[in-house]
Structure formats: structure tokens, C-alpha cells
Amino acid sequence: MSALLQLSSVETYIGGSRILRGVDLEMNPGEVVALMGRNGVGKTTTLRSITGVLSVRSGSILFDGKPIEKLSIDVRARAGIGYVPQGRDIFPHMTVEENLHIGLVVHGRKGADAKAALERVYDLFPVLKDMLKRKGGVLSGGQQQQLAIGRALLTNPKLLILDEPTEGIQPSIIDQIGDTLKKLKAPAAPAAVIDQASKDVAEITSAVKKLKETHALAILLVEQYVDFCREVADRFYAMDRGVVVVSGPIASLTDEVVKEHLQV
């Protein structure tokens, strides 16, 4: 099978600093790949180099067999690269419907074509159809992520890039907060918070799994939450200081690897 995406020796600079120091990464069509690593090692920079938000200094990026490293963000998006940035980037004061319509307008989809694209998103994420008139900002974290993914799907991407889909709702962190609060003898409130966080992560997990089952779509996700990666990814890459230090099938992401390369 020929690779959908291939990064070879990619070097990217930010303000004179060499942030990526020769990244090699490959994805096949339909694969879910987790890009992992501690804070500041270059994961988001790698994603931005692929989408074109940052330009690469040297090395090559092939998408569908063609070099894309010199193309603009728009051209890469039209070639089939969909991107959901960190923080999801939805408009909190606009309704779900308006958020999706903006996606259609930006990508020039109209009429029957636009309607079909929307129906596909509603089929995948029925909760969005139930909440069309709600403001984006009042949705739960899991629902906001579905909205952001839904909007990115309106371009019919071959590759969907997700930057930290569980960001801000990691139960491990909330658990710790919960434990601290429990020690302060206030168990009621944190239990509710933990329930919501687990629900959000469950929703995001199921959204990614659903995409995996129903689309010939490859997904590259940056994620620090190891259990989530083990649940959804086929393979992983772990980065350290601007290079990939270990990669393999997700089953080879052992606790030792986590301890050596991922744990803070």
C-alpha cells in the first residue's frame, strides 16, 4: 500500500529556533495514528507543518504521493487535509447550525452538495442534529469536539488531524482535583465533575471510533492521554526534543515506553 502521508527529515524553525530536527512519520489510508510526547517536544509544530500553518525549512512532506511542503494552507486543505486545532476553534456565541454553515461557506459548498455533506455529519453525530439551535459554547466538551470534527468533515478530507481532542477534560487530572476536594470533605461536587469528564471522553472516543468504522479516512491525533490512544489508535509515534524517538503498533506502547518517553 502506498502511504497517504510521508514526512521525511522535516525541519521546522520558529523564530530562529530549530523546533523540528528531522521528523520522519508515515501514515497509510484509513489508519489512526497517535502522535505523543511530553509538553513542548514539537507535536503541534509537526501538525502545523503538515497543514501549512508553519513552513518547513528542509525535508519533504508527501500527501497522496505528491510533495505538499511548499503549498499554501488552502491548497493543502482542498487536497484533503482536515484540521481540528487545539481548543477546537468553534464559535461559542453561534449556534451549532451556524458553526456548520460557516464550514460550508468557507469551503464553497452549496445546494444539494452542502445538504448531503451536512446529512453525513448528522448521521455520524446525531447529537448535533438535536442541538442545532444551541449555542456552541453551552455544549459539553465531548459535543464541542464532535461539532469541530463535524465541521472539518465538511471538506471531505482524506486525512483528519486532531490536536488534543481530550484537552481540558482529562479524567486523570480531574480525578486528582476530585481527590483533593474529597480530602477537604466536599465529595458531591467533584463526583459530578468527574462524571461529566468521563462522559465527554467516552463521547470523543466513540466519535473517533465511529469515524474509523465508517470512513476511508486516516486520523492523525496528538494526544497525551495514553488510555485514549490505546483505545482508538492503530499505531503511535512518540517524540522528544524535535524528533521521533519510538514508534510502532499501539500494542507496543507498553508501560515502560510510557514511563521513559511520555510521563512527566
Ligand X SMILES: Nc1ncnc2c1ncn2[C@@H]1O[C@H](COP(=O)(O)OP(=O)(O)OP(=O)(O)O)[C@@H](O)[C@H]1O
Question: Under the rule (CB under 6 A), what is the footprint of ligand X?
Answer: 14-15, 19, 37, 39-45
Give the nearer residue to ligand X in terms of CB position, either 40 or 108.
40
Beta carbon of residue 48, minimum distance to ligand X (angstroms, whole number) = 7
| Phi, then psi, of 83 in degrees rounded to 5 | -135, 125
Give the nearer residue to ligand X in terms of CB position, either 50 or 131.
50
In three state form, how does the secondary structure of the chain look? CCCCEEEEEEEEEECCEEEEEEEEEEECCCCEEEEECCCCCCHHHHHHHHHCCCCCCEEEEEECCEECCCCCHHHHHHHCEEEECCCCCCCCCCEHHHHHHHHHHHCCCCHHHHHHHHHHHHHHCHHHHHCCCCEHHHCCHHHHHHHHHHHHHCCCCCEEEEECCCCCCCHHHHHHHHHHHHHCCCCHHHHHHHHHHHHHHHHHHHHHHHHHHHCCCEEEEECCCHHHHHHHCCEEEEEECCEEEEEEEHHHCCHHHHHHHHCC
Beta carbon of residue 163, minimum distance to ligand X (angstroms, whole number) = 8
Give the nearer residue to ligand X in terms of CB position, either 153 or 238.
238
Give the nearer residue to ligand X in terms of CB position, either 84 or 121.
84
Beta carbon of residue 241, minimum distance to ligand X (angstroms, whole number) = 9
Beta carbon of residue 43, minimum distance to ligand X (angstroms, whole number) = 4
Beta carbon of residue 260, minimum distance to ligand X (angstroms, whole number) = 16
Beta carbon of residue 245, minimum distance to ligand X (angstroms, whole number) = 13
Torsion of CA 112, 117, 123, 124, to 10 degrees: 180
